[in-house]
Amino acid sequence: MAHINENYRKLQAGYLFPEIGRRVKAFTAENPDATVIRLGIGDVTLPLAPAVVAAMRAAVEELGTEDGFRGYGPENGYDFLLEAIAQHDFAARGVRVETAEIFVSDGSKQDSGNIQEIFGSDCRIAVTDPVYPVYVDTNVMAGRSGAADANGRYAGITYLEANEANGFCPAPPKERVDIAYLCSPNNPTGAVSSRENLEAWVAWARAHDSVLIFDAAYDAFIQDPALPHSIYEIDGARECAIEMRSFSKRAGFTGVRCAYTVVPSELTGSTSSGERVPLNPLWARRHSTKFNSVPFVVQRAAAATFSPEGRKQTGEQVQFYMGNAALLRQGLGDAGFALFGGEHAPYIWMRTPRGLSSWDCFDRFLHDAHVVATPGAGFGAAGEGYIRLSAFNSRENVEHAIARIAKAFGD
């Protein structure tokens, strides 16, 4: 008799975005004439940059020729991509990351969901609240939690409230935690961690022999050159942190699929008997056993984002979205809404108007303004009373969305 993994039954409702999709689908079915503007899921809208298209085109042609054809790629990624990452994402900021420490994958969702596999089932994890749901759900599925309470918080997981008082950047916990997930610039709040905040986390992790999982999927949106892009800009982070980056948002790759994870050679965990074990070979084993490299065409596309034209073009895309974020901040701020984030991230975190709950606000925005947002409560109990607006859309749609929300819900 094949037993199921009963941990799955602890999971609350569906994964957030499919649930939003279902509600939007129901609304549009009932209101076929409504022009719905989607500022919900953080999905890019600009076409791929010309330099990326050119690289993919060339790679496709190569695969159609006898000399250019390539089958299985190196499991961690082609050298041309690993070297470009090490150079542009790290060395250029004075950070040393070796190519053997970089693992190219098909997405940060996958990486941030899979990384927990190399840790023991007894590890206690901490997340900020609100939080990208994948960190929590994948640990629940792996049995690192008890049941959820009425607020959707799982027993056995440490939640660190990100709120207005702490600028949505919580300090490290007091209680024992083995693994902490951090995301900066933050999804969903749009907050960015200061150097001091990250220094406090690294000091805490080193003092408690804990591991930080640092998700920097949105690093390209940082506007202030003094803010850290990488956790490895903090001294001592190579001994305590794994970092993840993605091409999804910085280069419009949500439908192209490329990301990477860095596991420094110094980083160790321990066995239950106290033996130190390097994590890099464990992740390498996981990667080579359960993964089979990113498509060649996609790796060429990712490498093209580092060429001079690619950097210029994708940089302009990022700035276009940040222009949308500035408009949202300006327009909705003028209409009297309390807004956070959106300065170094493509997300605006907004206090719901009129004391609405997050999901009520979601439904009201959809029905009254025909705007899809993401209910803050979908990211955790501390997200209740907030709603997330994404800056990924056309200028025109963003302007319409601002006008509609302001008209329906503004002061």
Among 24, 46, 327, 406, binds its own copies (CB under 8 A): 46
What residues numbered 170-199 form the site for its own copies, per CB under 8 A? 178-179
Residue closest to 371 by CA, chosen among 340, 331, 343, 313: 331
What residues numbered 331-390 form the site for its own copies, per CB under 8 A? none
Tell me if 286 contacts its own copies by CB under 8 A: yes
Helix/strand/coil for 375: strand
Tell me if 80 contacts its own copies by CB under 8 A: no
Among 37, 97, 102, 118, binds its own copies (CB under 8 A): 118
Write out the two tokens for 96: 């040393």
CA dist 194 to 109, 191, 197, 225, Å?
24, 9, 5, 12
Question: CB of 162 within 8 A of CB of 190?
Answer: no
If the CB atoms of residues 110 and 223 are measured against its own copies, the closer one turns out to be 110
Question: CB of 287 within 8 A of CB of 106?
Answer: no
Among 79, 98, 117, 235, binds its own copies (CB under 8 A): 117
Max CA distance (Å), the chain: 66
State in angstroms the smallest separation of the CB of 364 from its own copies: 25
**x-or-dash pattern for its own copies, window 140-159, by CB under 8 A?**
-x-x----------------
If the CB atoms of residues 20 and 191 are measured against its own copies, the closer one turns out to be 20
Tell me if 203 contacts its own copies by CB under 8 A: no
- For its own copies, which stretch binds (CB under 8 A), given 111-119, 153-161, 228-236, 400-408? 111-119
Residue closest to 408 by CA, chosen among 349, 354, 359, 341: 354
State in angstroms the smallest separation of the CB of 276 from its own copies: 10
- Name the CA radius of gyration of the chain, rounded: 21
Rounded CA separation 131/135 (Å): 8
State in angstroms the smallest separation of the CB of 43 from its own copies: 4
Tell me if 318 contacts its own copies by CB under 8 A: no
Among 90, 95, 103, 138, binds its own copies (CB under 8 A): 138
Question: CB of 337 within 8 A of CB of 350?
Answer: yes
Rounded CA separation 354/99 (Å): 51
Q: Look at the alpha carbons of 24, 26, 27, 31 in this order and tell me if their dihedral is positive or negative.
A: positive
Tell me if 279 contacts its own copies by CB under 8 A: yes
Tell me if 107 contacts its own copies by CB under 8 A: yes
What residues numbered 287-306 form the site for its own copies, per CB under 8 A? 288-298
- For its own copies, which stretch binds (CB under 8 A), given 22-30, 221-229, 271-279, 348-356? 271-279
Tell me if 8 contacts its own copies by CB under 8 A: yes
State in angstroms the smallest separation of the CB of 146 from its own copies: 16
Cβ neighbours, 10 Å, residue 76: 24
State in angstroms the smallest separation of the CB of 219 from its own copies: 19
If the CB atoms of residues 4 and 165 are measured against its own copies, the closer one turns out to be 4
- For its own copies, which stretch binds (CB under 8 A), given 24-32, 132-140, 321-329, 377-385? 132-140
- For its own copies, which stretch binds (CB under 8 A), given 11-19, 79-87, 95-103, 188-196? 11-19
If the CB atoms of residues 111 and 343 are measured against its own copies, the closer one turns out to be 111
Q: What residues does 244 pair with on adjacent strands?
A: 215, 261
**First-last CA distance in the chain:** 61
What residues numbered 250-269 form the site for its own copies, per CB under 8 A? 252, 254-257, 269
- For its own copies, which stretch binds (CB under 8 A), given 112-120, 318-326, 362-370, 378-386? 112-120
If the CB atoms of residues 126 and 345 are measured against its own copies, the closer one turns out to be 126
Write out the two tokens for 66: 């006898």
Give every CB contact of residue 232 below 8 A, 6+ residues apart in sequence. Answer: 90, 95, 96, 97, 238, 241, 243, 262, 264
Give every CB contact of residue 107 below 8 A, 6+ residues apart in sequence. Answer: 246, 248, 257, 258, 259
Beta strand pairing call for 386-390 and 125-129? unpaired
DSSP 205: H
